[in-house]
């Protein structure tokens, strides 16, 4: 695994001792980490192109950790978050989890609990990155289609037969059959079911024209 693709854990906590403790624990199990005292420092830092997660203190100088969670989403930064706090309560926990947090740990917590949450977060990010990579590849294939082939694909995955598509587009059934073949070839689809799954991953509405 290249250094750029190796997992990394980001830690944001204004307590020097907490940051050092978490980084020491992560180093002991072979995980890379970077630590920041403020949310803004993390935002300005570089993020390698590999699986990552964020261990985030709820109470930070200048911004609440829960508000920062929403700022990240608004900025298009999708990263699994594990909240840590010395002053947690149930409403705070519920709000964090509803917004997609992996875990909400109250200090003092066991190292193993944090490690378990970190591994879960990294696994989640790996899956997300894989899905995004697959979607990007599908998007490249889809962009190879002509406008008419895109229309045909949308109608095919909506369940229409060749003769129905021909009527809809005002063309011949044999022409639709040829265009449908081009769609299957360019999208590298082995079956209609395969093409439907691709359309779903691309989030194409049925019958897209």
pLDDT of residue 209 exceeding 50 = no
pTM for the full predicted model = 0.74
Tell me the β-bridge partners of 52: 8
Mean pLDDT of 132-142: 93
Task: List Cα–Cα distances, 110 to 25, 27, 106, 114, 183, in angstroms.
Answer: 11, 16, 10, 7, 54
Calculated CA dihedral for residues 131, 134, 139, 140, nearest 10 degrees: 150
31-76 residue pLDDT tens: 999 999 999 899 888 777 889 999 999 988 888 888 898 888 888 8
The predicted pLDDT at position 207 comes to 58
164-191 residue pLDDT tens: 999 999 999 999 999 999 999 999 999 9
The predicted pLDDT at position 61 comes to 81
Q: Could you give the CA distance from residue 40 to residue 51 in angstroms, rounded to a whole number? A: 21
Contact between residue 84 and residue 105 where contact means Cβ atoms under 8 Å apart: yes
């Amino acid at each position: 695994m290249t250094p750029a693709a190796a997992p990394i854990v980001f830690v944001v906590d204004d307590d020097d001792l907490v940051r050092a403790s978490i980084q020491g624990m992560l180093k002991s199990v072979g995980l890379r980490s970077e630590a920041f005292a403020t949310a803004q420092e993390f935002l300005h830092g570089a993020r390698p192109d590999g699986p990552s997660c964020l261990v985030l203190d709820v109470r930070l100088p200048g911004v609440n950790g829960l508000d920062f969670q929403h700022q990240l989403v608004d900025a298009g930064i999708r990263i699994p978050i594990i909240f840590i706090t010395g002053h947690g309560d149930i409403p705070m926990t519920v709000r964090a989890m509803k917004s997609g947090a992996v875990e909400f740990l109250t200090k003092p917590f066991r190292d193993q609990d944090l490690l378990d949450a970190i591994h879960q977060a990294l696994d989640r990010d790996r899956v997300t990155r894989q899905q995004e990579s697959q979607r990007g590849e599908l998007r490249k294939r889809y962009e190879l289609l002509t406008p008419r082939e895109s229309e045909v694909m949308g109608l095919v995955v909506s369940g229409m037969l060749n003769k129905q598509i021909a009527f809809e587009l005002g063309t011949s059934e044999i022409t639709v059959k040829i265009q449908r073949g081009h769609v299957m070839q360019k999208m590298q689809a082995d079956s209609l079911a395969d093409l439907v799954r691709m359309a779903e991953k691309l989030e194409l509405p049925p019958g897209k024209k």
